[in-house]
Amino acid sequence: MNRNNHTVVTKFILQGLTDHLEWQMALFAVFLGIYVLSLVGNIGLILLIKVNTQLHTPMYFFLSNLSLTDLCYSSSVAPKTLVSFLSESKVVPYAQCFAQFSFFAAFLGSECFLLAVMAYDRFVAICNSLLYMVAMGGVVNSLVHTSSLLSLSFYRPNIIHHYFCDLPALLKLACSDMQTTKVLLFAFSGTIAGITILTILISYLYIFSTILQIQTSKGKYKAFSTCVSHLTAVTLLYGYLSFVYMQPSSRYSLQQEKIVSVFYTLLTPMLNPLVYSLRNKEVKDALRRTVSTLSHACKYTE
């Protein structure tokens, strides 16, 4: 493609979820509520784990890091999305768009690795007493994807059919030969997905095998109940990601991608603290103790 015959893109225009003003205001209220709940839930869970020494174990160390990751990757998308609902201008500068995707990819990659490590953590807790380990690959994931995008040329049109700078939407605008880039990104993403999913599957194969060997029903239920929250979080995240990044291209895919992206960018970070809190007896007990302590302190100061 001749560079002289085309205008090089220096900014993008986010199309968003809808062009209707009344819907934009309604979506602003919904997204704001979801984001506030996500902030409160994740920050609350981090503080709860920090102030309760009974929760200072590897399992809750990973859980607090999961909450921090949820907090960061939803914050890389939500504030800009909320501003765009209220603003007439949907313009996002080139550098800002790629910076948003870079942070989003880093934290989303970290979340995938954390879920894999948490599966191994459950395997260790139930099957044996080996040392705990964690390996984070989010930054590498972000660097590879962002550098691949930066190597592409973008000319007009510059309208991103999405509400944030996501990889599939940006690739649709690129004017360069993307065959090598797509192969690289597919291979790298496939490797990360394969490693994390394989770690989760192998861990749970050992976990379920060990649970089946437990003699009492109560013991089986207690062991399995410690895994339910994690399994729910894994199902939510990988279910949404597989729909967006692995579905075949179709005339409806762009709108479907935008709707499903809401789930893993905003709803999953909001739901994770609720899932881990409502299904975890230790977290609920810690919350009761903390609330009781705070209420006694308030009465004492009065």
Tens digit of each residue's pLDDT (9 = 90 or more) over 116-132: 878 877 776 665 544 33
Enter the DSSP assignment of 159: E
Q: Quote the DSSP letter at residue 264.
A: I
Inform me whether the pLDDT recorded for 250 exceeds 60.
no
Percent of the chain with pLDDT over 70: 80
CA distance 171 to 151: 11
Would you place residue 279 in the very low, low, confident or very high pLDDT band (cuts 50, 70, 90)?
Answer: low
Q: Based on the number of CB atoms within 10 Å of its own CB, is 234 exposed (0-12), middle (13-18) or buried (19 or more)?
A: buried
Mean pLDDT over 267-273 rounds to 80
Say what the pLDDT of residue 249 is: 53
Listed in sequence order, the DSSP H helices in 128-249 are 138-150, 167-171, 179-213, 217-246
- Per-residue pLDDT, averaged over 209-219, amounts to 81
User: How far from chain centre, in Å, is Cα 163?
Assistant: 16
Q: Which residues contact 15 (CB under 8 A, 6 or more apart)?
A: 90, 159, 160, 161, 162, 163
| CA atoms of 150 and 108, how far apart (whole Å) | 19
Q: What confidence category does residue 51 fall into, taking pLDDT thresholds of 50, 70 and 90?
A: confident
Instruction: Please report the pLDDT score of residue 66 as a whole number.
Output: 86
Instruction: Give the separation between CA 164 and CA 97, rounded to whole angstroms.
Output: 8
Q: At CA 160, angle to CA 107 and CA 242, rounded to 5?
A: 45
Highest mean pLDDT out of 32-46, 149-163, 235-249:
32-46
Describe the chain by its helix, strand, coil percentages, rounded to 5.
Answer: 75, 5, 20
Please tell me the predicted confidence (pLDDT) of residue 138: 55
Range 229-233 average pLDDT? 79
The answer to which of 4-8, 26-30, 114-118, 162-166 has the lowest mean pLDDT is: 4-8
Q: Assign domain 3-301 to its CATH architecture.
A: Up-down Bundle (1.20)
pTM of the model: 0.66
| DSSP states of 266-295 | IIHHHHHHHHHHHT-HHHHHHHHHHHHHHH
